[in-house]
Amino acid sequence: MELIITEKNNAARRIADILSGGTYDSSRTNGVNVYEWGGKRCVGLSGHVVGVDFPSEYSDWRDVEPVELIDADVEKTATKENIVATLRILSRKAERVTIATDYDREGELIGKEAYDIVRNVDDDVPIQRVRFSSITENEVTSAFDEPDELDFDLAAAGEARQIIDLIWGAALTRFLSLSSGQLGNDFISVGRVQSPTLKLIVDREREIEAFDPETYWELFADLEKDGEATFDAQYFYRDEDDNEAERVWEEAVASEVFETLSERDSATVVDVNRRTRTDTPPTPFNTTQFIRAASAIGYSAKRAMSIAEDLYTAGYITYPRTDNTVYPDDLDPEELLDDFVGHPTLGDSAESLLESDDDIVPTEGDEETTDHPPIHPTGEIPSRGGDVSDDEWEIFELVVRRFYATVAEAAIWEHLKVVTEVDDYRMKSNGKRLVEAGYHDVYPYFNTSENFVPDVDEGEELALADVDLEEKETQPPRRYGQSRLIETMESLGIGTKSTRHDILEKLYDRGYVESDPPRPTRLAMAVVTAAEDYADRVVSEDMTAQLEADMDAIANGDATLDDVTDESREMLEEIFANLADSRDEIGDQLRKSLKDDKRLGPCPECGEDLLVRRSRHGSYFVGCDGYPDCENTLPLPSTGKPLILESECEDHGLNEVKMLAGRQTFVHGCPLCKAEDAGEGPVLGECPECGSDEGGELAVKTLQSGSRLVGCTRYPDCEYSLPLPRRGEIEVTEERCEEHDLPELLVHSGDDPWELGCPICNYQEFQARESDSGSELESIEGVGAKTVEKLETAGIESLADLTEADPDTVAEDVDGVSADRVRSWQAKA
DNA sequence: GCAAGGTC
């Protein structure tokens, strides 16, 4: 029996399909798919199935000096035990093993990991390696016809990276965490990729903070040809380098130009310049460009990748993690376009592309790699609202249309620049017109707005009107957006196609950045500063560049793994020698910045700082740093995680607070204002619970936390209450509900006020909706709303569906759910 | 409980 090992399940299935001509059988061992046909078995790993770590005696952070990690052993342990076990079982029966992992460095290392597992159970079985640059019949069959050997040097290059990343990351992370007393969940992390990325964000923030705005002026006017065609013109001059400049830096000069232009009612055309510009279609999607395009239509990097992975697994698009921007030879664009002909929304574009007289030649990017093709549709089309959600469809359409764009014609723009003169002052008007839409017809994501400037001739007189002098300020540089950061990481060579977006998420998780675009916390700035002072290497992209060079040397046989890791260990030793004396100083700085991140402003009772704190139960509140001398506290809403905004309350000098709670995120404002506003609003009517007996009345109330409700004036003796929305001003109208004799309420938020109606009716409708949407699956202990949603998408909608389902299939279909868990639910159901 | 890299 021959055993074929691939990097992932999907690749295993497709290779089995190709090599067996579609006749393979599939079965499961330990929850791992095994594909079998004519004396062959094929199994997919899940990327790395083993990982590097220190021996367990190093695991207690307090017992081990971080510096000791530098010379500690590094062990490999199984991280995907079921897959490792399956591999061992299958190897015992194998007469030959073929490693068919991805054709790149990490793939070679993953292949070597499989090799070691196989060798552990059988030291004789022949092990060969096949390499192919895309999973197509031609490539795969010819690779299997001429198998090769595993490249141990290339794998060793990858291992060196693993070891260096672990040692530097763990030793420095532990040092900073221990020095500041941040153990447990809030440890302070450092790493070869995350820290240079964080430094990019921090450096930009430093520029923004140091920015000193300057005032300048710009002048605009309207020009008019023949009393009808009006267009814009802007004043410009030549600066000392003879470049065109629009910004005037002296007010006196700006006023002089303004007065002259305002006095005149015409300008003379002195120059007309026409040119056509070819606007070439974009290149095929690699991961970074895909994330950029998705972010332009409102998807975060994380969300875009997560949707792309789902579309890939479902078979609608190709593998979304790729650096490649050149379609492989075996991709036939006409054939792929054919798959979309006749589709109600995507068909027209495909048909128009196929009708073109010219041969279809796709665009190419600069990067051509061997592991995966650029992201493109497979030809399978999901149904919107059926197979995929609206968001998934939107991303799918983006991928399809990008493919269209790469095989479409260029667009042609006509640019018209008109220069006019008034005395010695000049103005310019830049017009542009899209004369041939080209790829924009099939790829409507780019801005194609035109700017009108009429045809004029040199010497022509144009009417001049509405001269406008605008005072402006230079702006600080803008923060990096997520997709800009990922692009910059790519250009600096840090991270990989698969990890860059994860690294950004890590920065959020670690409390280093907040909001979108990411804004660094004071902690982030302190960590970067400390690293710059003592371990400059770990915040510089040079560390990766050097590592890449070293890895190439190992792969080429010019160095060994030990050469490279020993040298790296020595460098880290030196860093620790310098760090030793500064431990307390660094710790103080980090602790101080951690406090700065929680500070709202001065406590009105004692003048110390008010800080956002967390109670023992996990809820957030505002407390005074002077505690226990000062016991002043303010409440915060119970939903979400507080984010301290840059804006300050004018009355109290406290920063405003936003509550982050996904879709329910809202701005709470100044906690002190909220506390002062708390109390009872207008009375609505008799309390249905105690009104007739005790005379209680219903009133609109604002709690200290900022949340609102309709409650009984006899609270806490009567606890009757009805919910109200958190946002918007509440208006009590004249109309009354006949059934409950309460006024109808109107909520003013956004542009249009909406009718909440009678608060009792509103609450009853709300409850009815809730019980409607509630699923009986939720009655099972351990099954929450999220799991129900996942189960429902897998076709399990009732208790009966669940009990009849095959646990293994359910585990396969539902993310993060094991077959054992399904069995336990079945028992409970 | 540390990193970064695979993949789900």
Please indicate whether residue A724 or residue A175 has the higher confidence score (pLDDT). Answer: A175
Spatial distance from the CA of A573 to the C1' of B5 (Å): 25
A214's CB contacts (< 8 A; 6+ apart) are A249, A473, A474
SS3 state of residue A499: coil
User: What phi and psi, each to the nearest 5 degrees, are found at residue A222?
Assistant: -100, 135
Q: For residue range A452-464, list pLDDT tens digits in order.
A: 999 999 999 999 9
Q: Which among A406, A440, A455 is the end of a domain?
A: A406
- A276 and A417 assigned to the same domain: yes
Name the closest nucleotide to A313, judged by C1' and CA. B8
- The CA distance from A807 to A776, in Å, is 19
Q: The domain containing residue A112 runs over which residues?
A: 2-45+80-150
* A57: in domain: no
Run of H or E residues at A420: strand A411-422
Spatial distance from the CA of A78 to the C1' of B6 (Å): 14
Model confidence at A483, pLDDT cuts 50, 70, 90, reads very high
SS3 state of residue A96: strand
Peptide linkage before A628 cis (omega within 30 of 0): yes
- A577 and A632 assigned to the same domain: no
Model confidence at A484, pLDDT cuts 50, 70, 90, reads very high
User: What does the pLDDT read at residue A622?
Assistant: 95
User: What does the pLDDT read at residue A809?
Assistant: 53
Model confidence at A752, pLDDT cuts 50, 70, 90, reads low
Strand B at less than 7 A from CB of A10? yes
- A27 and A129 assigned to the same domain: yes
- A142 and A7 assigned to the same domain: yes
* A294: in domain: no
Q: Kindly report which amino acid residue has its CA closest to the C1' atom of nucleotide B8.
A: A815
Spatial distance from the CA of A107 to the C1' of B5 (Å): 10
CATH number at residue A535: 1.10.460.10
CATH number at residue A31: 3.40.50.140
- A233 and A312 assigned to the same domain: no
Q: Which among A572, A590, A608 is the end of a domain?
A: A590
Peptide linkage before A635 cis (omega within 30 of 0): no
User: What phi and psi, each to the nearest 5 degrees, are found at residue A785?
Assistant: -60, -40
Model confidence at A813, pLDDT cuts 50, 70, 90, reads low
Q: Kindly report which amino acid residue has its CA closest to the C1' atom of nucleotide B2.
A: A170
* A766: in domain: no
Peptide linkage before A328 cis (omega within 30 of 0): no
Strand B at less than 7 A from CB of A49? yes
Q: Are A196 and A184 in contact (CB under 8 A)?
A: no
- The CA distance from A33 to A11, in Å, is 11
User: What does the pLDDT read at residue A54?
Assistant: 98
Run of H or E residues at A666: strand A666-669
Catalytic: which of A35, A299, A319, A327?
A319
Q: Which among A621, A652, A674 is the end of a domain?
A: A674
- The CA distance from A676 to A149, in Å, is 75
Beta strands across the sheet bearing A679-686:
A679-686, A697-702, A708-712, A721-723
Task: Tell which strand B nucleotides have any atom below 7 Å from a protein Cβ.
Answer: 1-8
Residue found under tokens 């490792």: A84
Instruction: Give residues 544-573 of chain A lying near strand B (Cβ < 7 A).
Output: none
* A342: in domain: yes
Q: Kindly report which amino acid residue has its CA closest to the C1' atom of nucleotide B6.
A: A47
Per the annotation, the verdict on A715 as an active-site residue is no
CATH number at residue A436: 2.70.20.10
Residue A265: CB atoms within 10 A of its CB come to 10
> How is residue A355 written in tokens?
């009708």
CATH number at residue A789: 1.10.150.20
Q: For residue range A78-88, list pLDDT tens digits in order.
A: 999 999 999 99
Q: Is A299 exposed, middle or buried, given 0-12, 13-18 or 19+ CB atoms closer than 10 A?
A: buried
Q: For residue range A19-50, list pLDDT tens digits in order.
A: 999 999 999 999 999 999 999 999 999 999 99
The count of structural domains within chain A is 7
Tell whether the model's pLDDT for residue A677 goes beyond 60: yes
- A27 and A128 assigned to the same domain: yes
Rounded to the nearest integer, the mean pLDDT of chain A is 89
Angle subtended by helix axes A194-210 and A500-509, to nearest 10:
60
Model confidence at A786, pLDDT cuts 50, 70, 90, reads very low
Strand B at less than 7 A from CB of A46? yes
- A110 and A26 assigned to the same domain: yes
Residue found under tokens 């560049």: A545
* A162: in domain: no
- A500 and A581 assigned to the same domain: yes
Model confidence at A447, pLDDT cuts 50, 70, 90, reads very high
Residue found under tokens 């990766």: A544
- A462 and A489 assigned to the same domain: no
Instruction: Give residues 150-179 of chain A lying near strand B (Cβ < 7 A).
Output: 161-162, 165-166, 169-170, 173-174, 177
* A225: in domain: yes
Tell whether the model's pLDDT for residue A778 goes beyond 60: no
- A492 and A608 assigned to the same domain: no
> How is residue A451 written in tokens?
């700017």
Tell whether the model's pLDDT for residue A801 goes beyond 70: no
- The CA distance from A405 to A388, in Å, is 23
Spatial distance from the CA of A54 to the C1' of B2 (Å): 10
Please indicate whether residue A748 or residue A94 has the higher confidence score (pLDDT). Answer: A94
Name the closest nucleotide to A169, judged by C1' and CA. B3
- The CA distance from A38 to A273, in Å, is 72
Residue found under tokens 């021959």: A2
Q: How many residues does chain A have?
A: 829
Percent share of chain A, pLDDT over 70: 89
CATH number at residue A332: 1.10.290.10
* A511: in domain: yes
Spatial distance from the CA of A798 to the C1' of B4 (Å): 42
- A10 and A109 assigned to the same domain: yes
* A293: in domain: no
Please indicate whether residue A699 or residue A796 has the higher confidence score (pLDDT). Answer: A699
- A736 and A793 assigned to the same domain: no
- The CA distance from A151 to A500, in Å, is 27
Instruction: Give residues 312-341 of chain A lying near strand B (Cβ < 7 A).
Output: 313, 321
